[in-house]
Amino acid sequence: MPQIIPIKDLKDTASVSDLCHRVDEPIFITKNGYGDMVLMSMELFETTRKKWEIYSDIELSEEQIKSGKTKDARRALTSVREKYGI
């Protein structure tokens, strides 16, 4: 279940930091009852950022496949072998 806390709770920084490291998901901050910010630990941020990069690479690959920007794998490997004498 997502953690949701009001912005006033950010005054207790040590407690909020502990919460960030205790839960393995973003913490949603509300202001006047509405969503305002998202807070997470550095570890969770790095993990999430890596996933975004992978998803971005997959999306780019899918676009390249759709537009025909692909190479035959056997020909590509043969070319690499010839170039580097493998």
pLDDT the model gives residue 23: 94
**What is the pLDDT at residue 14?**
97
Q: What domains, with CATH codes, occur in the chain? A: 3-84 (3.40.1620.10)
Rounded Cα distance between 57 and 49, Å, is 12
CB 27 within 8 A of CB 38: yes
Walk along the chain (86 residues) and give the pLDDT tens digit of each residue. Answer: 889 999 999 999 999 999 999 999 999 999 999 999 999 999 999 999 999 999 999 999 999 999 999 988 999 999 999 999 98
29 closest CA partner among 44, 10, 43, 47: 10
Helix (H) or strand (E) holding 30: strand 27-31
